[in-house]
Amino acid sequence: MTSGTFDNLLHRFVLNDSLHQLFDAVNAISVQGYDEQRRVIYWNKGSERLYGYSKEEAEGQKLEDLIIPDEIRDIVIKGHNAWLKTGKEIPASEITLRHKSGKKVFVFSSHVLFVNQYGVRQMYCIDIDLKDLRQAQAQANFKEHMLESIFDAIPDLFFLMKSDGTVIDYYSSNTGDFFSKSNDFMGKNISTLFADVKVNGFQKQMESALKHKSNTRFEYEYNVHQIPKHFEARVRFIKEYDQVMVIIRDISEQHKAAELIRHQAYYDNLTSLPNRFLSLEQLSQLLKETQRSNEKIAVLFLDLDDFKKINDSLGHEVGDKLLIKCVKRLKSAIRKQDLIGRLGGDEFIVLLKGYKTHKAITHATESLLKAFRTPFNLDGRELILTVSIGIAISPDDGDSASDLLRNADIAMYQAKELGRNTYSFFTKEMNVFMQRRSELEAQMHGALERQEFEVYYQPQIDVKKRKVIGAEALIRWNNPTLGNILPDEFIPVAEQTGLIVSIGELVIRQAVRFLSEWEKEHNVPFNMAVNLSPRQFRDEGLFTFIRDQLKLLNVAPDQLELEITEGLLLSGKSYIKETLNKINKLGIKLAMDDFGTGYSSLGYLREFSFDVLKMDRAFVQGITTNKSDYDLVKATIAMSRSLDLLVVAEGVETKAQLQMLEDLGCDIVQGFYFSKPLSKQAFFGFIKSFCYDK
């Protein structure tokens, strides 16, 4: 048939077939019409949208050349011919056809064959796009498999129940514990399934949730194969279906981790004692309880005496072992109802409850002291360790945990002042002392920048030559708020805060500048003595600082004399020996201060190259009235002679003391008999008017 002839026939179909007019009005469904040779005679808008061919492109083309994939081409042709020849209908079915672009098109295809008013047989295909349906099915399948995968991956137990708690479905991927008995769950009430849970925790919580129809979560314990485990249950109500879902998860590992974190947060890692935070929390709880019973709580603040020396000399490993042994002794000395905690370092707290009298508290405290009387045996070493204890009692010494701890701490410092290895009850006078100490510490910060510190100089007199040959540099502090503060009061605070290093540098800097100015004006040798504290010796830059100051101002090292105490040498630190050797090699003189007040120093006098020995004022002041002081001073001077050391006597206040020292052969003296410490300007004035004939 020619193209013109087909067009004429097609024109007949379109004009005369009212069915086409119906299909033209429907573009959501694909409708195609074919003649007996399977050529397109009708192609509606729905077909254009579904297969991509326009009406003009499709008309006259054969079905198999347009939308039939190659793999079913023969089947389609045979089916069409069979229908025409034998009347065997093509059944409606899902089928995959082909888009103009080559992509697959999923449709549900129905066919109809009829003869029109012109006696021409025509086949019409009605195709419904299944793409959305296939995607929905695929999504449903994916979700189904995804949920199965999730269920398999999550080690939870899921219960679906009626609103009364009767189990109607369950799921669990875990078959290794009690979930393996899940066949027994169906048709039973969930509360009864866990009746043996610890203290019926699960049953009570579950019954409450079902009664109030409330979403909730709770934790409980359950023995699995005789092993206690921790679980979490989440209860969710599905109101639309009047059902309840319970999800149960094993949280044993999380529980262990939480317990570990809690232990680390509340307990000391080394000793496993309650830490500072938990101890104060326990004290606060005890105070609440005693408010109702009118009982008293004794707070004991314990500090191990000289523990730092052991820790520094023997190492932290030995120190840790010793702390553990100390805790065992502390525990053995208190009752079970008493509490003990570690505040940090070598400080502990003991909470005594139920004691009604000071005498009873004293007895308990003495038991703690007694526990330390026996030496500690550690790695073959025998170590002696004592403890100082401060005591505060509620409600007399405070009604809050922080106040009681602070006051017990203050009392502990008093026990230290009393000589250590003892105890002290808190008093209001102690609080005044600590307030003063706090004020000093607060004012000391910034005092250097405000230039409140000043160096004074106390003259040193050569007994034989009867002239001023040197001075001792002494620090003084005048604060606008607190006034003049004595060194005995502020030096310990400076030591504790570490400010003594900066203050010491100020003294050295001013003393060296004094020597430089003296030499320019008098051009005669002059000796300047400067005290060095143990804290200054821990400063690695001490020697370099001193050397640089001497070099900067062109001062001879032998004009500077550094005074150290016996206690510094007792520590035995290697860096102290190294620093002293450097000082000696540079030519700086070395003096042992406060001789006779501490330990036997003869060994140190031989080991280090000392030049000067300074006798403590306590012996000098008693030289005229106390024979033992006189004998000690006499022996000290005689020993110094044999060691070729100069002897300086401090605290000379009377002519009789001076005369006796001169008779014994003392070299140099200083004290109020000649002059109190003076400012630099006043010192130069003193030199000009000095007269030894007193």
Identify any residues that bridge with 480 across adjacent strands, giving them in sequence order: none
- From residue 282, alpha-carbon distances to 153, 291, 349, 360, 671 in Å are 44, 14, 11, 22, 55
- CA triple 642-648-651, angle to 5 deg: 140
Which residue, among 434, 452, 474, has the nearest Cα to 563 in the 3D structure? 474
pLDDT score, position 5: 47
Distance CA 678, CA 676 (A): 6
pLDDT score, position 2: 47
pLDDT score, position 1: 46
Distance CA 295, CA 169 (A): 58
Threshold 0.75, pTM exceeds = no
pLDDT score, position 412: 92
By CB atoms closer than 10 A (0-12, 13-18, 19+), residue 190 is buried
Instruction: Mark 192-209 as b/e (b = at least 16 C-beta within 10 Å).
Output: ebbeebeeebbbebbeeb
Phi then psi for residue 338, to 5 deg, are -80, 155
Side-by-side strand order, sheet with 297-304: 339-344, 347-353, 297-304, 387-394, 423-425
Judge whether 510 and 683 are in contact, CB under 8 Å.
Answer: no
Helices 316-332 & 307-314 angle (0-180, nearest 10): 140
pLDDT score, position 601: 52
Mean pLDDT by groups of 10 residues along the chain of 694 residues: 48 51 74 91 91 92 92 91 87 90 90 78 87 70 61 71 84 57 71 62 77 83 75 85 84 78 82 92 90 84 88 83 94 92 93 87 93 88 90 90 92 86 87 78 88 95 92 94 89 85 94 93 90 83 92 94 78 74 91 67 70 88 89 90 91 94 94 94 88 62
Reduced to 3 states (helix: H, G, I; strand: E, B; else coil), residue 611 is: coil
Three-state SS string across 342-375, please?
EEECCEEEEEEECCCCHHHHHHHHHHHHHCCCCC
Distance CA 88, CA 79 (A): 8
Phi then psi for residue 569, to 5 deg, are -70, -25
Instruction: Mark 40-58 as b/e (b = at least 16 C-beta within 10 Å).
Output: bbbbbbbbbebbbbeeeeb
- From residue 444, alpha-carbon distances to 327, 456, 480, 536 in Å are 37, 18, 12, 17
pLDDT score, position 438: 80
Judge whether 305 and 387 are in contact, CB under 8 Å.
Answer: yes
pLDDT score, position 146: 61
pLDDT score, position 604: 67
Which residue, among 680, 674, 677, has the nearest Cα to 468 in the 3D structure? 674
By CB atoms closer than 10 A (0-12, 13-18, 19+), residue 357 is exposed
Which DSSP state fits 91? P
Which DSSP helix (H) or strand (E) runs through 469? strand 467-479
Which residue, among 86, 137, 133, has the nearest Cα to 113 in the 3D structure? 86
- % helix / strand / coil in the chain, to the nearest 5? 45, 25, 25
Judge whether 536 and 503 are in contact, CB under 8 Å.
Answer: no
Distance CA 404, CA 301 (A): 10
Judge whether 372 and 389 are in contact, CB under 8 Å.
Answer: no
pLDDT score, position 289: 85
Judge whether 14 and 33 are in contact, CB under 8 Å.
Answer: no
- CA triple 368-384-327, angle to 5 deg: 40
Which residue, among 200, 203, 252, 207, has the nearest Cα to 225 in the 3D structure? 252
pLDDT score, position 595: 73
| Strands 589-595 and 560-565, bridge-based pairing | parallel
Reduced to 3 states (helix: H, G, I; strand: E, B; else coil), residue 391 is: strand
Three-state SS string across 642-676, please?
HCCCEEEECCCCCHHHHHHHHHHCCCEECCCCCCC
By CB atoms closer than 10 A (0-12, 13-18, 19+), residue 523 is exposed
Q: List, in order of start, the domains of the chain with CATH numbers.
A: 3-130 (3.30.450.20), 154-256 (3.30.450.20), 267-426 (3.30.70.270), 442-689 (3.20.20.450)
pLDDT score, position 238: 84
Judge whether 617 and 651 are in contact, CB under 8 Å.
Answer: yes
Write down how long the chain is. 694
* Long-range contacts from 286-291, C-beta under 8 angstroms, 24+ separation: 286/339, 286/351, 286/353, 287/394, 287/399, 287/400, 287/401, 290/353, 290/394
What is the chain's alpha carbon radius of gyration, rounded to the nearest angstrom?
A: 51
- Here the tokens at position 74 are 């023969």
